[in-house]
Amino acid sequence: MTLVELMPFSVLVPLIAAPLCALLPGRILPWLLALASAIASTVIAALVLPQAIDGPLSYAFGNWPPPIGIEYRVDSANAFVALLVSGLAVLATLWGRKSVNEELDQPQGVFYSLFLLALAGLMGITLTGDAFNVFVFLEISSLSTYALIAHGPDRRALLASFRYLIMGTVGATFFLIGVGFLYIMTGTLNMADLAERLPEVADTRTVHVALAFIIVGMGLKLAMLPLHLWLPNAYTYAPNFISVFIAGTATKVALYVMIRMIYTVFGADYSYAVLPLTAVFLALALAGMFIGAWTAIFQANLKRMLAWSSISQVGYMLLGLALGTVAGLTATFLHLFNHALIKAALFMAVGTVAWRVGSVRIEAFRGLGRQMPWTMTAFALAGLSIIGIPTTAGFISKWYLILAAMDAGQPWLVALIVISSLMAVVYVWRVIEAAWFQSRPADAETVREAPLSLLVPLWLMVGLNFWFGLDTRLPVAGATAAAEALFGPTGVTP
């Protein structure tokens, strides 16, 4: 079996494992199967990445040659995102067992089956080269995610899930309308083929509208302000394991699709000329950065705080995209990668506390620094990364973002990036303040440190934040290759 033939299995393994998983009894077996599938996915994705950096790999499903059949087309950009998604799934699953056991007192076959479907969906969106296929996988991942969120222990999870369902469906439908318009105009759904045929019909209203629909649709899925309303509740009330997983992956994949459509299908020159994307993205990015961080400062529920922080961090990614340069896009991909590491670590830390203390409200963290030193230290270190202190992954993102802003001749953006980072200091500090500088309330029970099965994955995640803050070769090479692949070898600036 060649690598090209192996490649689709990073989607197929979780997809095939999902129904099997639903049949498995008890708790351990479904978890083991989910973990094994995620690992298999990751291994394949890791094998594919170096090859994809050399040149795109193409696999035709059922031997129907593209553009007739469905093509999986993998270049640096999606190979990079695929490795991130699957790798994060492994770490989240490792961490998740204890947490899921706490929140779900029932056989977990269905739960892990849904998780595998969500993973398969996200991997499928990332790897496929077919616009309609993106929609199909988008729905697979979204539907399973709605169900997963509804598993949350709080009854409000149902409402959160329902809201996400409405908004998510609107988003997916918009995307589908956009793809439909493209199909009407060109008669093809294959992305590479679309890219070839679109120039002929580029100046029609239909294609303009298609682009707008696709951007708004994906904007909903990636929680671009002001389309973010579903996100805080969804992250807050989902089971902690799911918060860790979707915070690191779901919005990232949606962003990837948006970038792919803008750059590969429509072409950057065209997209940025037809729609005022620079201005729109810039305004929404800045609004997201500041409103997200500002709102995060005032949240009493720490999962909600992290959710708002995510909205702020999505702003950074959009900012890189708004610049419309190779450097900007590199910064976007880097932050996409680094933020996944940071946010997963933070959600794991908060989830670990929730597992032990049973609450994620800031009052519950008072005085915890002494009772759960390892967990809280992990939170503080991941906090350094989200602020962007040197030696952390977060610093590398900000560094490239600032570099891109300077490069694009917009030094005033640097000041805004710095100010919004300082707002991150405030919301991280609130937690540190509660954990170390306030005493444990007298009526609170004394808790012990969390068990190793939660601490080890958590610290692994924190370790990765520092690892990729020092050894930047993989993310920087991956992000650079991704940006260059999207811009084309010449790297033309629109």
Residues that bind other proteins (CB under 8 A): 387, 389-391, 396, 399, 402-403, 406, 411, 414, 418, 422, 425, 429, 433, 436-437, 439, 469-470, 472, 476
Our CB check for other proteins shows the closer of 57 and 482 to be: 482
Our CB check for other proteins shows the closer of 181 and 468 to be: 468
Our CB check for other proteins shows the closer of 76 and 421 to be: 421
* Residue 447 CA: distances (Å) to CA of 150, 364, 368, 418: 29, 11, 8, 37
Q: Is residue 413 a contact partner of residue 405, using CB atoms and an 8 Å limit?
A: yes
Minimum CB separation of residue 145 from other proteins in Å reads 35
74 phi and psi angles, rounded to 5 deg? -120, 115
Residues ≥6 apart with Cβ < 8 Å to 369: 376, 432, 435, 436
Q: Is residue 148 a contact partner of residue 115, using CB atoms and an 8 Å limit?
A: yes
The token pair at 235 is 């992250």
Minimum CB separation of residue 10 from other proteins in Å reads 30
Residue type, 147: A
Minimum CB separation of residue 395 from other proteins in Å reads 9
Minimum CB separation of residue 472 from other proteins in Å reads 6
Minimum CB separation of residue 214 from other proteins in Å reads 34
Our CB check for other proteins shows the closer of 113 and 313 to be: 313
d(CA 436, CA 416): 30
Residues ≥6 apart with Cβ < 8 Å to 373: 449
d(CA 402, CA 234): 31
Our CB check for other proteins shows the closer of 99 and 330 to be: 330
Minimum CB separation of residue 387 from other proteins in Å reads 7
Our CB check for other proteins shows the closer of 60 and 425 to be: 425
Minimum CB separation of residue 418 from other proteins in Å reads 5
Our CB check for other proteins shows the closer of 42 and 480 to be: 480
